[in-house]
Amino acid sequence: MSKVVLQAKDRQKYGSAESRRIRRNGRIPAVIYGRSGKSVSVDLDSSEFVKSTKGISESTIVKVEVGEKSYDAFVKGTQRNIIDGNILHIDFYEVESGVALRAKVSLVFQGNPVGVREGGMLETPLHEIEIECLPVDLPERIEIDISNLKANQSLHVRDIPLAKSIRLLSNPDQTVALVKFAKAEAAAPAAAAAADAAAPAAGAAAAAPAAAAGDKKAAPDKEKK
């Protein structure tokens, strides 16, 4: 996938009133935060940003061009209007070429597991992992083939194939995907329900002889009177 390039304008005025003016003109106020603590205030065309960044992940590096300068950065956050969903503000985080960075990368599962075809249920409790690498080696997403996953088998973080240039930061023992055998799980509640239904019937049968015995003991008392 080619790198997303965004055209931005340097922003010299600040404040709520200025931000509202920018939005009325169809643009979005934004800040590019640098690794050294410095920041650059800019604004971007709203339509261009939405169209260009559609489908990107949190680990996608975009290029923001501001006049003759350009910044490679992550889209670290977007503030939206709670009523109409329009973007009110964007935070970018600059990355430096040749300097290792830490990022969370989304996991994309591919294939229909063998265990699911046999009646099991697939669970994917983990949807991203944290890694460290150079910006040039950072993947937008990590694809995992789970088609060979059988019933009662699980896949862990340590099983994910990564390039040698990428260092894993997440716990390697975390479960990424597993297949539970649904038929066995369904049988247990059914058996429990059958046992519960049988219990009242057995209790009623045991109570009948006791009631009959009580009637026999009551009869001699009437004869004494």
What tens digit of pLDDT does each residue of 66-99 get? 999 999 999 999 999 999 999 999 999 999 888 9
Better-predicted residue by pLDDT, 16 or 183: 16
Distance of alpha carbon 6 from alpha carbon 48, whole angstroms: 8
Residue 186 has pLDDT above 50, yes or no: no
pLDDT at 130: 96
Task: Give the mean model confidence (pLDDT) for residues 28-54.
Answer: 92
Q: Which of 28, 11, 41 is nearest to 81 (CA)?
A: 28
> Looking at 27-41, 51-65, 68-82, 202-216, which range is the least confident one?
202-216
Q: What DSSP line would sit under 113-132, residue for residue?
A: -HHHHTTEEEE----EEEEE
Placement of tokens 């990355």 in the chain? 95
Residue 13 has pLDDT above 60, yes or no: yes
Task: Give the mean model confidence (pLDDT) for residues 190-214.
Answer: 52
pLDDT band at 56 (very low <50, low <70, confident <90, very high): confident
Structure tokens at 74: 């992550």
Distance of alpha carbon 139 from alpha carbon 46, whole angstroms: 26
pLDDT at 97: 85
Give first-to-last CA distance, the chain, whole Å: 103
pLDDT at 55: 83
Q: Which helix (H) or strand (E) holds 109?
A: strand 101-110
pLDDT at 110: 96
Task: Give the mean model confidence (pLDDT) for residues 110-117.
Answer: 94
Residue 223 has pLDDT above 50, yes or no: no
pLDDT at 209: 52
How far from the centroid of its chain's Cα atoms is residue 43's Cα?
Answer: 30
Residue 194 has pLDDT above 70, yes or no: no
Better-predicted residue by pLDDT, 17 or 201: 17
pLDDT at 203: 53
Distance of alpha carbon 198 from alpha carbon 27, whole angstroms: 70
